Structure 1
Amino acid sequence: MKAAPFEHHEPTSVDEAVSLLESLDGPTVLSGGQSLVPMLRFRLANPDVVVDINGIEELGYLREEDGFLKLGALARHADVEGSELIAEKYGSFADAAPLVADPQIRNRGTVVGSVAQADPKGDWGSLLIAHDGEVVARGPDGERVIPADEFFLLPYDTALDEDELITEVRVPTPSDREGSAYHKLKRKTGDYAMAGVGVRLRFDDDGVIEAAGIGMTAVDITNARASDAEDHLEGERPTPDLFEAAGESAAEESHPESDEHGDAAYKERMVKVLTQRALGDAAERAGVVKQRRVSR
């Protein structure tokens, strides 16, 4: 099956793209296209107008700037996977990138496109939440910064206006005593997550957890924060018992649904285990503890 006919625009600047989004009726933005193009092919999506932003070369960046790690709208999953900066300082991003779909999709798909799609089984939304990240959007009235906690409204529904373009997503650069990790369970290469957990831990000079972030994948109607588990961690010293209790709390905060991959009780248990493992890795990467992997 082929896509239904549609009007195609190829802006070469952000201003031109925003102008198109404002003037056209119900446009759909194309970046990586790894979700949109198959939907077009099978006519699960039938837009009248597509605005293809792949010609906006200024949006293909991945860099640290002004206290943030910034990923432009055309930064590919593979760019994150191959980045020395990511490997050195952003453990959770380095963990997540190779687990996104398969190499063909990672070479073309974009981080921002995944965030914009707002699939609760997508990985990057959970990491934005865990890292207190932000979505930067440009519209006719200028630039708007949307905290990750406020961006995801419902499955495939976000706080982005129709005439706004996401230009970048960003997370604060880590401190010297900070570590992060992402653990994900899926059946095979190319599958979405059955469950996933991203964590970030920041420690003070005495080895006490100063701040914690936990984002969960595929276990709620959106990527979700485990705020009670975060509260349980903050102000405490890292121990296996503490991480186990935080995992239990995260599992209680999750709301998975039973499906062909497993029942809800199984997925809740996986949230507990994945949270424990990710917390252990994050603490180790922060240089605070040596943590044995949880296997039970």
Structure 2
Amino acid sequence: MKAAAFEHHEPTTVDKAVSLLESLDSPTILAGGQSLVPMLRFRLARPDTVVDINGIDSLDYLHEEDGYLKLGALARHADVEDSDLIDEKYGSFADTAPLVADPQIRNRGTIVGSIAQADPKGDWGSVLLAHDGEVVAQGPDGERVIPADELFLLPYDTSLGENELVTEARVPVPEAGEGSAYHKLKRKTGDYAMAGVAARLVLDDDGRITDAGIGMTAVDITNARAREAEAHLEGERPSADLFEAAGELAAEESNPESDEHGDASYKERMIDVLTQRALGDAAERAGVVKRRVTP
């Protein structure tokens, strides 16, 4: 089956793209297209107009600037996977990129596109939450910054305005004594997560946790934070017992549904296990000797 006919626009600047979004009737944005193109092919999506932003060269970047790691709207999963900067300083990003689908999809799919799609089974939303990240959106009224905690509303629904384009996702540059990790359970290569956990820890000179972030994948109606687990960690020294308690709290905060891949209780148990493992890796990367937890 082929896609239904649609009008195709290729802006070369962000201002032109925003102008198109404002003037056209219900346009659809195309970046990586790894979700949209299959839907077009099978006519699950039938937009009248597509705004293709791949010609906006200014959105193709991945770098540190002004205290943030910034990923432009055209930064691909493969760019993260291949980045020495990411490999050196951003453990959760380095863990996540190779777990996204397969190499063909990673070569075209974009991090920002995945975040903006707001699929609760998407990995990057959890990473953004764990890092207290933000997205930058450009609309007819100018630019605004949306914290990750305020972005995800419902499956495939965000707080973005109707005519806004996400131009960037960003997270703070790691502090001294900071480490992060991502663990994901899936049936086979290319699958979405059955469950996933992103974890970030910041340790002070005394080895105590001063800040913690835990983002969960595929166990609620959106990517979600385990706030009680985060609070339980702060002020404590990393240990297997501490991480076990945090894993239990994260599982209690998750809200999975039973489906063909497993019942809710199984997924809660997986969140418990994955949280412990992600916290163990994050602590090791923050400079703590690793104590591998194998429940």
TM-score bucket (shorter structure): over 0.9
| 1:268 matched to 2:268 | yes
Q: What is the aligned-residue identity percentage?
A: 82
Equivalent residue, structure 1, for 2:292: 293
Equivalent residue, structure 2, for 1:166: 166
TM-score by length of 2: 0.99
Distance (whole Å) between structure 2 residues aligned to residue 258 and residue 182 of structure 1: 23
Distance (whole Å) between structure 2 residues aligned to residue 245 and residue 169 of structure 1: 31
Aligned-partner residue type, residue 35 of structure 2: S
Distance (whole Å) between structure 1 residues aligned to residue 189 and residue 120 of structure 2: 18
Aligned-partner residue type, residue 227 of structure 2: S
Deviating beyond 6 angstroms after TM superposition, the runs of 4 or more aligned structure 1 residues are: none
Q: CA deviation at 1:261?
A: 0.8
- Give secondary structure in 2 for the equivalent of 1:213: strand
Q: What CA deviation, in whole Å up to 9, does each residue of 1:228-283 have, x standing for no partner?
A: 00000001111110000000000000000111111110000000000000000000
Distance (whole Å) between structure 2 residues aligned to residue 46 and residue 100 of structure 1: 26
Aligned pairs, number = 295
Q: CA deviation at 1:292?
A: 2.7
Equivalent residue, structure 1, for 2:155: 155
Equivalent residue, structure 1, for 2:141: 141
- Give secondary structure in 2 for the equivalent of 1:244: helix
| 1:230 matched to 2:245 | no
Q: What CA deviation, in whole Å up to 9, does each residue of 1:81-118 have, x standing for no partner?
A: 00000000000000000000000000000000000110
Structure 2 unaligned regions, length at least 5: none
Q: CA deviation at 1:291?
A: 1.7
Q: What CA deviation, in whole Å up to 9, does each residue of 1:106-163 have, x standing for no partner?
A: 0000000000110000000000000000010000110010000100000000011111
The 5 A counterparts of 1:11-160 are 11-160=11-160
Aligned-partner residue type, residue 293 of structure 2: V
Distance (whole Å) between structure 1 residues aligned to residue 103 and residue 150 of structure 2: 31
Give yes or no for contact 2:2–2:40 (8 Å, CA) kept in 1: yes
Structure 1 unaligned regions, length at least 5: none
Aligned-partner residue type, residue 85 of structure 2: L
Aligned-partner residue type, residue 181 of structure 2: A
Distance (whole Å) between structure 2 residues aligned to residue 292 and residue 283 of structure 1: 9
Distance (whole Å) between structure 1 residues aligned to residue 55 and residue 292 of structure 2: 44
Q: CA deviation at 1:193?
A: 0.1
- Give secondary structure in 2 for the equivalent of 1:275: helix
Distance (whole Å) between structure 2 residues aligned to residue 292 and residue 171 of structure 1: 27
Give yes or no for contact 2:239–2:291 (8 Å, CA) kept in 1: no
Q: What CA deviation, in whole Å up to 9, does each residue of 1:36-72 have, x standing for no partner?
A: 0000000110111100000001101000000000000
Q: CA deviation at 1:293?
A: 2.1
TM-score by length of 1: 0.99
- Give secondary structure in 2 for the equivalent of 1:292: coil
Alignment RMSD: 0.5
Aligned-partner residue type, residue 52 of structure 1: D
- Give secondary structure in 2 for the equivalent of 1:290: coil
Distance (whole Å) between structure 1 residues aligned to residue 207 and residue 294 of structure 2: 25
